[in-house]
Amino acid sequence: MPDLFPDDRARLPLDPGAVLLGGFALPVDRVLLQLITHTAEAAPFRHLETPGGRRMSVAMTNVGQLGWVSDRRGYRYSPVDPLTGRPWPAMPPAFTTLATEAAAAAGFANFAPEACLINRYASGAKLSLHQDRDERNLDQPIVSVSLGVDARFLWGGQSRTDRPRRIALHHGDVVVWGGPARLTFHGVDTLGESSHPLTGSLRYNLTFRIAT
């Protein structure tokens, strides 16, 4: 989708504590995608069940000491992949480096993520408006990397009923939110039918967190 002022996307403040770093991950895009493919061989993408019993349209897997999971019992972080019974694959150093550098560029020094949720969106998948609040330490930011097909990020407010802004997320974009923006409601609009040279019809998102 076209941007009105493409030059402003290199650093687009969304709110105090939240910034979009346009194209920040582009230099390592192929490396990231290879590592995602590699991860999925050990910890396959799967559609988790919500506590309410619905199948999530986004497929997920994790790397790191902890992985985000959802089932009838609720949302939580688990050191073990419930699908395989094994620990999640280790966080690749290239992931950690990118997350730490993006956080620093957004003003959050020394971010050392423990968990990386990998989301895979096919056409029609979406992520409803939510807060990332399963982490114990809310002083630490969230770092979110977009790869592949363009999406529309829903960026809301501190209350679920605040009307969200729609912000274009392109391949290589990174969004960081912390401090006063840490609990901002956000989501991803239904992915359209589109194609990207590196991912085909898919969009991937890496979400780095400190969970403990």
Ligand X SMILES: O=C(O)CCC(=O)C(=O)O
Q: Give the interface with ligand X as residue ranges (CB under 6 A).
A: 117, 119, 127, 132, 144, 146, 153, 186, 188, 205, 207
Among 114, 132, 135, 173, binds Mn ion (CB under 5 A): 132
- Quote the least distance from Cβ 132 to Mn ion, whole Å: 4
Nearer residue to Mn ion within complex by CB, 168 or 198: 168
DSSP reduced 3-state for 79: coil
CB of 201 to ligand X, least distance (A): 16
Q: Does 114 bind Mn ion (CB under 5 A)?
A: no
Return the number of the residue (132 or 135) whose C-beta is nearest Mn ion. Answer: 132
Amino acid at 103: A
Q: Which is nearer to ligand X, 171 or 186 (CB)?
A: 186
Q: How, if at all, do strands 59-64 and 18-21 pair?
A: unpaired
C-alpha to C-alpha distance for 150 and 7, rounded to whole angstroms:
18
The upper half-sphere exposure of residue 168, i.e. CA atoms within 13 Å in the direction of its Cβ, equals 15
> Which residues does residue 49 pair with via DSSP β-bridges, in sequence order?
55
**Among 18, 54, 29, 203, CA closest to 118:** 203
Percentages (nearest 5) of helix, strand, coil residues in the chain: 20, 35, 45
Smallest separation, CB 57 to ligand X (Å): 12
Q: For the chain, what is the largest distance between any 2 Cα atoms, rounded to a whole number of angstroms?
A: 48
Interatomic CA distance for residues 145 and 174, integer angstroms? 4
CB nearer to ligand X: give 85 or 150. 150
- Asked if 64 contacts 91 with a C-beta cutoff of 8 angstroms, the reply is yes
Q: In angstroms, what is the minimal distance from the CB of 205 to ligand X?
A: 3
With beta carbons less than 8 A apart as the criterion, state whether 111 and 140 touch: yes
Q: How far is the CB of 190 from ligand X (least distance, A)?
A: 12
Query: Which is closer to Mn ion, CB of 37 or CB of 161?
Result: 161
Q: Is 173 in the site for Mn ion (CB under 5 A)?
A: no
Taking CB within 5 to 8 Å according to partner kind, which of ligand X, Mn ion, none is near residue 61?
Answer: none
Which does residue 205 bind out of Mn ion, ligand X, none, counting CB within 5 to 8 angstroms by kind? ligand X
Residues engaged in binding Mn ion (CB under 5 A): 132
